[in-house]
Amino acid sequence: MSEFYPKIRQKIRNNLSQIAAVILMFLFMFFYLYNHIVYTIQSGEGGVKYLRFFGGTVVDKVYP
């Protein structure tokens, strides 16, 4: 068990640039696609919840 953490730490150090590149890529994709992921409902507007794989539009719950 005591050898486990140093091995993991060494693997992280050896692959730090690749790990950082993947994290930066996901952050870039998240911020670039933010307008397609999050929808803002302004005051006075109504919204419904759509579940693609779980039955479609939820019509029996009202979101205030």
**pTM (whole model) above 0.75:** no
* Structure token pair of residue 64: 């205030």
pLDDT tens sequence across 11-21: 999 999 999 99
The answer to whether residues 51 and 59 touch, using CB atoms and an 8 Å cutoff, is no
Digit-coded pLDDT (tens) for 33-54: 988 888 787 888 777 788 888 8
Residue 28 CB: number of other CB atoms within 10 A? 10
